[in-house]
């Protein structure tokens, strides 16, 4: 028994020893694993704490950089301003009135508009020059620049001037004679006059006095006593162009209008009605109206001084009409004509209306009567 017992002790010890060794190894392995995990954990957090944050898409500009950028912008604007001032410098003795020139030039840039007539055959004389070389390059430069400039407008109602794109140089290059050039341009201009209402919209301007070679003009029906006398006394006169009937437009284009343009004084006798379109026509074409009537309530009579741009006569003056008109000095006629140009805007209708035009003058008359006349 004892032998068996003694024998069993070493086995138990060995078993215990094995068990303790296995346990120790397991414990060491577990400790090593925990140590490794702990080391990995702390290493990761340590790296997280000490490594820089990941890059982001947003770039932060420092205050100094922003300040420098603003300074650079200010400096650039200063340089631009200096260049503008240098370019705009119109001072010096080479100019008669440099300040006025500078102000007028700025006003031109702000307001001046030009309409280019689109008519004409682009394959012949009306095409603008392409080449900008040679001694006639100025024409090409002007044609090209006016098309692309701030001055061009596609709305003729906004235009101050109307440009006819005819190249005389190109006509010369095609061998066109000066005589044929005159005919071509005249036909082209007359086609524009008949097609568009804008021609001579400034209503005869003020530079056509030398073209008015006829002393007086009237054409119409004899539907009143004064018209009958006017036609009977003066219809065969060589200096007064007096026609017993209205001009038949079938005999030629713009014949009636041309008579107005070529005449100094346009006779406006009273007719069968209280109004006469000839007064407005005379003003429109820059022909000084001669009012031949005993009783005529002239338009805007309480606003405009008609004696400054018209000749006011009584009906009995018809017999001395020619001498009365011839006795008017040239200087007085020039003054009357200039004043006609000045008042033309008051008799012109526009859509939409423009300040001081016929619509606004009528409205002013209504306002004046409403505020002055006491009921």
Exposed/middle/buried for residue 244 (C-beta within 10 Å: 0-12, 13-18, 19+) = middle
Of 297, 295, 310, whose CA–CA distance to 343 is shortest?
A: 310
**225-276 tens-digit pLDDT:** 999 999 999 989 999 999 877 665 445 556 777 888 889 999 999 876 656 6
pLDDT band at residue 19 using 50, 70 and 90 as cut-offs: very low
**Cα 14 from Cα 20, distance rounded (Å):** 9
- Residue corresponding to tokens 């000095």: 329
Q: What is the pLDDT of residue 24?
A: 41
C-beta separation of 124 from 188 below 8 A: no
Ranges 42-46, 108-112, 214-218: which has the least confidence: 42-46
Ranges 173-177, 258-262, 324-328, 371-375: which has the least confidence: 371-375
C-beta separation of 262 from 253 below 8 A: no
- Average pLDDT rounded to a whole number, residues 98-124: 81
With a CB cutoff of 8 Å and minimum separation 6, the contacts of 284 are: 203, 204, 260, 344, 347, 348
Q: Is the pLDDT assigned to residue 71 strictly greater than 80? A: no
Percent of the chain with pLDDT over 70: 68
Give the sheet arrangement for strand 240-243, strand by strand.
240-243, 214-219, 263-269, 288-292, 311-313
**182-196 tens-digit pLDDT:** 888 888 887 787 777
Identify the helix (H) or strand (E) that includes residue 311: strand 311-313
Q: What is the pLDDT of residue 22?
A: 46
Of 334, 322, 324, whose CA–CA distance to 210 is shortest?
A: 334
- Give the pair of three-digit tokens for residue 160: 């101050």
**Cα 119 from Cα 349, distance rounded (Å):** 26
With a CB cutoff of 8 Å and minimum separation 6, the contacts of 214 are: 239, 241, 259, 262, 263, 264
| Highest mean pLDDT out of 157-161, 251-255, 289-293 | 289-293
- Average pLDDT rounded to a whole number, residues 362-369: 84
Q: Is the pLDDT assigned to residue 199 strictly greater than 50? A: yes
Q: Who has greater pLDDT, 370 or 5? A: 370
Q: Mean pLDDT across the chain, nearest whole number?
A: 75
DSSP 250-269: GGSTTHHHHHHHTEEEEEEE
Q: What is the pLDDT of residue 313?
A: 96
Of 114, 93, 91, 110, whose CA–CA distance to 101 is shortest?
A: 91
Query: What global pTM score does this model have?
Result: 0.50
Length of the chain: 375
Q: What is the pLDDT of residue 4?
A: 42
Q: What is the pLDDT of residue 209?
A: 83
DSSP 58-123: PPPPPHHHHHHHHHHHHHHHHHHHHHHHHHT---STTSSSHHHHHHHHHHHHHH--EEEP--S-TT
pLDDT band at residue 322 using 50, 70 and 90 as cut-offs: very high
Q: What is the pLDDT of residue 31?
A: 44
Q: What is the pLDDT of residue 289?
A: 95
């Amino acid at each position: 028994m004892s032998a068996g017992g003694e024998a069993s002790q070493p086995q138990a010890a060995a078993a215990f020893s094995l068990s303790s060794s296995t346990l120790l190894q397991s414990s060491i392995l577990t400790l090593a694993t925990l140590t490794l995990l702990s080391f990995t954990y702390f290493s990761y957090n340590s790296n997280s704490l000490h490594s820089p944050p990941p890059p982001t898409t947003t770039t932060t500009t420092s205050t100094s950089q922003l300040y420098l950028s603003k300074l650079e912008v200010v400096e650039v604007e200063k340089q631009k301003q200096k260049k503008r001032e240098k370019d705009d410098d119109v001072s010096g003795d080479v100019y008669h009135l440099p300040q006025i020139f500078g102000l007028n030039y700025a006003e031109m840039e702000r307001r001046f508009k030009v309409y280019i007539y689109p008519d004409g055959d682009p394959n012949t004389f009306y095409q603008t020059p392409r080449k900008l070389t040679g001694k006639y390059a100025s024409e090409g430069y002007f044609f090209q620049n006016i098309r692309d400039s701030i001055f061009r407008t596609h709305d003729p109602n906004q235009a101050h001037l109307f440009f006819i794109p005819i190249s005389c140089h190109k006509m010369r290059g095609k061998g066109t004679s000066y005589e044929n050039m005159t005919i071509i341009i005249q036909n082209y201009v007359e086609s524009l006059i008949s097609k568009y209402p804008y021609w001579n919209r400034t209503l005869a301007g003020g530079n056509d006095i030398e073209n008015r070679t006829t002393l007086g003009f009237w054409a119409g029906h004899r539907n009143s006593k004064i018209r009958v006398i006017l036609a009977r006394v003066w219809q065969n006169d060589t200096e007064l162009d007096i026609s017993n009937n209205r001009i038949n437009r079938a005999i030629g284009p713009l014949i009636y209008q041309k008579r107005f343009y070529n005449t100094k004084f346009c006779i406006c006798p009273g007719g069968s009605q209280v109004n006469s379109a000839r007064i407005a026509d005379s003003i429109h074409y820059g022909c000084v109206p001669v009012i031949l009537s005993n009783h005529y309530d002239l338009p805007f009579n309480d606003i405009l001084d008609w004696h400054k741009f018209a000749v006011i006569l009584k009906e009995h003056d018809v017999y001395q009409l020619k001498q009365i008109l011839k006795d008017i000095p040239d200087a007085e006629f020039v003054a009357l004509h200039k004043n006609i140009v000045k008042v033309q805007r008051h008799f012109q209708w526009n859509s939409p209306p423009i300040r001081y035009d016929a619509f606004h003058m009528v409205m002013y008359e209504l306002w004046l009567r409403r505020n002055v006349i006491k009921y």
